[in-house]
Amino acid sequence: SAVISQKPSRDICQRGTSLTIQCQVDSQVTMMFWYRQQPGQSLTLIATANQGSEATYESGFVIDKFPISRPNLTFSTLTVSNMSPEDSSIYLCSVVPSGMGDTQYFGPGTRLTVL
């Protein structure tokens, strides 16, 4: 298994500002993902965070809006840029530890409210 922490756990931000969310894993993992979950909804994959290269974004998500860094195999950041109220959501990182098939372990999430 893997233990994942996220910072901050929640934040309230003003429109037009940016917030960077950190995801830290207690072991080296190859696959790391960022998801968005609207209240009462399912999870939507934003991007795959690739170590040493640019993230792979899903349709509807772009690097300028959601820049992602992955400097090593245990850490990643997601920035929500130029925020609007529509960005209010829970943002979750997940990892797939080596040898665990496709089992994803999720961080506790960051609850973002944009005013």
Partner 1 sequence: GQQVMQIPQYQHVQEGEDFTTYCNSSTTLSNIQWYKQRPGGHPVFLIQLVKSGEVKKQKRLTFQFGEAKKNSSLHITATQTTDVGTYFCAGRNFNKFYFGSGTKLNVKP
- Where along the sequence are the contacts to partner 1 (CB under 8 A)? 33, 40-45, 48, 58-59, 92, 101-109
- The distance from CA 114 to its chain's CA centroid, rounded to whole angstroms, is 17
Which DSSP category does 85 fall into?
G
The number of residues in the chain equals: 115
Complex with partner 1: residue 50 or 69, whichever CB lies closer: 50
CB of 89 to partner 1, least distance (A): 13
Nearest CA to 105 out of 115, 114, 95 is that of 95
CB of 30 to partner 1, least distance (A): 12
Complex with partner 1: residue 19 or 46, whichever CB lies closer: 46
CB of 15 to partner 1, least distance (A): 26
What are the distances in angstroms from CA 38 to CA 23, 88, 92?
Answer: 19, 8, 11
